[in-house]
Amino acid sequence: MNCVIAGGGPAGMMLGFLLARAGVGVTVLEKHADFFRDFRGDTVHPSTLEILYELGVLDEFLRLPHSKVRTLTGQIGETTLRLADFSHLPVHCKFLVFMPQWDFLNFLAEQARAYGSFSLEMRAEVTGLLFDGESVGGVRVRTPGGERERRAELVVAADGRDSQVRAAAGLQSIDFGAPMDVLWMRLSKKPGDPEQLFGRIDFGRIFVMLDRGDYWQCGLVIRKGGLAEIQQRGIDALRADIVELNPFVCDRVTELRDWSDIKLLTVQVNRLREWYRAGLLCIGDAAHAMSPIGGVGINLAVQDAVAAADILIPELRRGSRIPIDALRRVQRRRELPTRVTQRAQLIIQNNVIKRVLGRRGRMKPPLVVRALGAIPVLQRIPARLIGLGFRREHVTR
């Protein structure tokens, strides 16, 4: 049986690895020449680390350069609070791993290449679909050598939130909107910086800082569509806003030389009504674009891939066309955790972030957040929601 996966992100690479491990012929088509792209999700959660443990590759993965985060700390106004404690999770790795996404993807590719049924083609962009009647029967691919067609019994769309495959299939999504976008940037890290300051909320602004070893990956949350107004104020005003939130970076904000050093993440929250049609399945961001809240995008994508593999491998091994009911079962398995996660993100977006971005002046943590910071047992709740999510998947084949 021949499977083609469009997109070499976390969902596509994990599914390719799992299918190859099961002896299924699979080709991953990735439009870029490599996986190196900055300002992508780089949080590998305990649920994903447990999948790597079940696959027997966790120790090798943890030999790659990374940082471990056992608690999440935030600052609201002048108050610093511990918001989540992962040390009590019922898994082998009771911590988050921060690792550049390209290292994670290269690791999965290396593991998958150990199997003869796996192939990865870089600079191969899926631009359209081939149809056999109403069923998807393959893909059109653009490569440096020209356009070509690739037939497949199953096509999996894992090509992200702007999925061309999803669009070519005519699948319809529900858009929930988002009140914010994020400006991503990097600032150097120096001795004496805080060990792990996840973020700060103050003066009507939200600023996130992720420790990447020798630099901070920073995100400034802004009002949806507010980039033009910020640019009109000028780069110096943006630097001043960042220093007001985090005075310890005052000696390095000039590293933001111009707007080319700042990347806009347009936040989307949506999901397909149906994740499939005959011969085609969508997973990861191609099926459901997630808010960056909680950094759960990679991990939800990996869980989708594991569920898809568990359900589809028996069908693929039979060597006949995949029954549409099997594709439907993948959506049924993964739709509830997607809905619950998006619902939680929307509550935070609309009741916390939207209000914060509409305020000015010094902020104080509300009572419920102060209680969370003061009572350690309560910190296990967000740790479980972030670290394990809803309906964890396990490698069974």
**What mean pLDDT, rounded, does the chain reach?**
91
On the 0-12 / 13-18 / 19+ scale of CB atoms within 10 A, 385 is middle
Question: In whole angstroms, what is the distance from residue 282 CA to residue 160 CA?
Answer: 10
How much is the average pLDDT of 22-50? 87
CB 40 within 8 A of CB 79: no
Q: Which of 247, 296, 355 is nearest to 84 (CA)?
A: 296
Q: Provide the CA 383 distance to its chain's centre, in angstroms.
A: 17
For residue 139, what is the enclosing H or E element? Answer: strand 135-143
End-to-end CA distance of the chain: 17
pLDDT digits (tens, 9 = 90+) for 194-223: 776 567 888 788 898 887 778 888 999 999
CB environment 172-201: b (16+ within 10 A), e (fewer): ebeebebbbbbbbbbbebeeebeebbbbbb
Question: Which one is predicted more confidently, 393 or 373?
Answer: 393
| pLDDT score at 81 | 86
Whether residue 271 has pLDDT greater than 90:
yes
Whether residue 39 has pLDDT greater than 60:
no
Q: Which of 109, 143, 146, 128 is nearest to 20 (CA)?
A: 109
Q: Confidence band (pLDDT; 50, 70, 90) for 1?
A: low
Residue 6 pairs with which residues in a beta bridge? 29, 157
What are the CA-CA distances from residue 233 to residues 155, 229, 230, 236 (Å)?
47, 6, 5, 8
Whether residue 323 has pLDDT greater than 70:
yes
CB environment 291-312: b (16+ within 10 A), e (fewer): bbbbbbbbbbbbbbbbbbbbbb
DSSP, res 244: H
For residue 222, what is the enclosing H or E element? Answer: strand 215-223
Name the one residue in this structure whose structure tokens are 């967000």. Answer: 382
Q: How many helices (H) and strands (E) does the chain have?
A: 12, 22
φ and ψ at residue 45, rounded to 5 degrees? -85, 165
Whether residue 78 has pLDDT greater than 90:
no
What are the structure tokens assigned to 173, written together? Answer: 């999504």
pLDDT digits (tens, 9 = 90+) for 86-143: 999 999 999 999 888 899 999 999 999 999 999 999 999 999 999 999 999 999 999 9
Collapse the DSSP code of 171 into the 3-class scheme (helix H, G, I; strand E, B; otherwise coil) and give the result.
coil
CB 220 within 8 A of CB 205: yes
What are the structure tokens assigned to 225, written together? Answer: 């569509």
Q: Provide the CA 107 distance to its chain's centre, in angstroms.
A: 16
The pTM score is 0.92
How much is the average pLDDT of 311-328? 90
Q: Which of 180, 44, 27 is nearest to 105 (CA)?
A: 44
How much is the average pLDDT of 29-37? 87
For residue 387, what is the enclosing H or E element? Answer: helix 380-387
What are the CA-CA distances from residue 165 to residues 6, 12, 131, 187 (Å)?
8, 13, 12, 36
CB 126 within 8 A of CB 164: yes
What percent of the chain stands above pLDDT 70? 97
